[in-house]
Amino acid sequence: MSVLPLVLWPDPRLAETCAPVTEITTAIETLAADMLDTMYAAPGRGLAGPQVGAMLRIFVMDAGWKEGAPDPLVCINPMLQEIGEERVTREEGCLSIPGVTAQISRPSQVQMVWTGLNGGRYVQSFSGFAAACVQHEIDHLDGIVTFDHLDADTRADLVATFEKATA
């Protein structure tokens, strides 16, 4: 397959809501494989369609591959079904905002429903880092980036850091 070029912030596509995938075609299967290749090469733990210019509700993730064997997941038209009340703050990075990490508060547990490449519907609960990864990637599908979770002062500081890193 192929490693795709990453879309970097402030590209306006990262602020757009993605369209649902209406049919699982060969093109969608190829896109998913290319997204996994791109994610592993980056090296990241998740990658959403708009981060490679595909404005579709699809993301790939592998929350634990850096600590163990690869276990890739392709999520088409994902939706959060249940969101836990407990929150946790952890450092998050983003392949579309290289060189910047931010402390982001999110629910510590979520349940997601999605369609797999085989057309089957899946429901799974995620906790810990995997829960943060799922939420981060769904944010991308809704046009939300890490910076959008921050207060104005923190955002300004991190945007300046990003601009220096990419200048």
d(C-alpha 51, C-alpha 140), whole Å:
8
d(C-alpha 102, C-alpha 90), whole Å:
8
Question: Residue 140 corresponds to which tokens in the numbers above?
Answer: 């991308």
- Please say whether the beta carbons of 141 and 78 come within 8 A: yes
Q: Out of 29, 91, 137, 163, pick the active-site residue.
A: 137
HSE-up of 40 (CA within 13 Å, CB side)?
A: 16
Checking DSSP bridges between strand 73-83 and strand 58-61, what pairing results, if any? Answer: antiparallel
- Count H helices, E strands: the chain? 3, 7
d(C-alpha 86, C-alpha 79), whole Å:
19
Question: Is-catalytic flag, 16?
Answer: no
* Residue with tokens 């392949």, as numbered in its chain: 95
d(C-alpha 4, C-alpha 52), whole Å:
6
Residues with catalytic roles: 137
